[in-house]
Amino acid sequence: MTQSITQFLPLIIIFAIFYFMLIRPQQQRQKKHKDMLDSLKVGDRVITIGGIFGIIREIKGDVFTLEISKDIRINTTKSAIGSKRDN
């Protein structure tokens, strides 16, 4: 019985290392990004995952209207927002 446990111990240790170094941090990043997306409102400055800087001018469900320059607006999906700018 103890021999079978010692055979699986390295496998269990490897799984624990993978979980704490890869899986858990990725889940935390995804949760943080989802929380940021849920907190977005009109007037927030954002950067899309394509690198476009803009200001949210309108939100209709999952579609955001971004003003990227004076009188130039584009529509993008909520999932295309990469981050929120502070300034």
| Total number of domains constituting the chain | 2
The reply to whether 2 and 24 lie within a common domain is yes
Q: Is 53 helix (H, G, I), strand (E, B) or coil?
A: strand
Q: Per-residue pLDDT tens for 11-54? A: 999 999 999 999 999 999 999 999 999 999 999 999 999 999 99
C-beta of residue 46 within 8 angstroms of C-beta of residue 39: no
The reply to whether 35 and 76 lie within a common domain is no
The reply to whether 59 and 27 lie within a common domain is no
C-beta of residue 58 within 8 angstroms of C-beta of residue 64: yes
Q: Per-residue pLDDT tens for 60-86? A: 999 999 999 999 999 999 999 999 998
- 58 vs 48: CA distance, rounded Å: 15
Q: Give residue 10's domain range.
A: 1-39
The reply to whether 67 and 47 lie within a common domain is yes
CATH of the domain at 74: 2.30.30
The reply to whether 49 and 80 lie within a common domain is yes
The reply to whether 29 and 46 lie within a common domain is no
- The H-or-E segment that residue 3 falls in is helix 2-18
